[in-house]
Amino acid sequence: MADQHADNTDHAYVHGAMEISEQVSTWHLFMFMAKWGSLLTAALLVLLTVWFAVGAGFIAGAIGGVAVFVIGFFALRSKPAH
């Protein structure tokens, strides 16, 4: 059985005509959270690994975690637009 609306759907979509500001803002939020969440996870993993697995203590783990966070912060911050 043929679709009654098949002839009408070919012309219903116009490429580039949709408003995508919601999708763009959602994508930027996702990228922001993924980027900074990954940095926090990496810093926490360094802290816990040095503290417990290596046995160097909390202070050495905290120094390593803060170092990873500071280096990651400068690497991941937004660059100025040209």
* Domain spans in the chain, listed from the N-terminal domain onward: 38-82
Give the model confidence (pLDDT) of 13-40 as tens digits: 777 777 889 999 999 999 999 999 999 9
The pTM score is 0.73
Give the model confidence (pLDDT) of 50-68 as tens digits: 999 998 999 999 999 999 9
Instruction: State both tokens at 7.
Output: 């002839």
Banded pLDDT at 7 (limits 50, 70, 90): low
Helices 21-48 and 58-76, axial angle in degrees (round to 10): 150
**HSE-CB for 21 with a 13 A CA cutoff:** 1
Determine if residue 79 is left, alpha or beta; phi over 0 gives left, psi from -120 to 50 gives alpha, anything else beta. Answer: beta
d(CA 1, CA 4): 9
Q: What is the pLDDT of residue 2?
A: 55
